[in-house]
């Protein structure tokens, strides 16, 4: 996850320099699909894109007890789930 963030943080810079919206969208959807697959594995198959992007107060009960630990500080993504429907 850290490696993904390290590489993805430069996408804004790249987007300003190259104009290829179709390829950018295709890549974004692929990455989101991969993240959602991982999230579903983390939540015992019950996680959704909505609670991945905009966590609900009851998200903790989706995560199996064996995987719960000390919560990490999370920043809220600035993305709408409507973009992926």
Lowest mean pLDDT among 6-15, 22-31, 64-73: 64-73
First to last CA, the chain: 24
pTM: 0.58
What is the mean pLDDT of the segment spanning 4-13? 89
What is the pLDDT, as a whole number, of residue 30?
94
Q: What are the tens digits of pLDDT across the range 44-64?
A: 999 998 888 886 666 555 555
* pLDDT of res. 46: 92
């Amino acid at each position: 996850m850290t490696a993904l963030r390290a590489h993805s943080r430069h996408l804004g810079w790249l987007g300003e320099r190259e104009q290829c919206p179709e390829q950018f969208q295709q890549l974004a959807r692929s990455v989101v699909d991969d993240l959602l697959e991982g999230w579903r594995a983390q939540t015992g198959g019950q996680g959704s894109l909505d609670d991945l992007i905009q966590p609900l107060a009851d998200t903790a009960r989706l995560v199996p007890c064996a995987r719960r630990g000390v919560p990490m500080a999370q920043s809220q993504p600035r993305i709408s789930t409507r973009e992926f429907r």
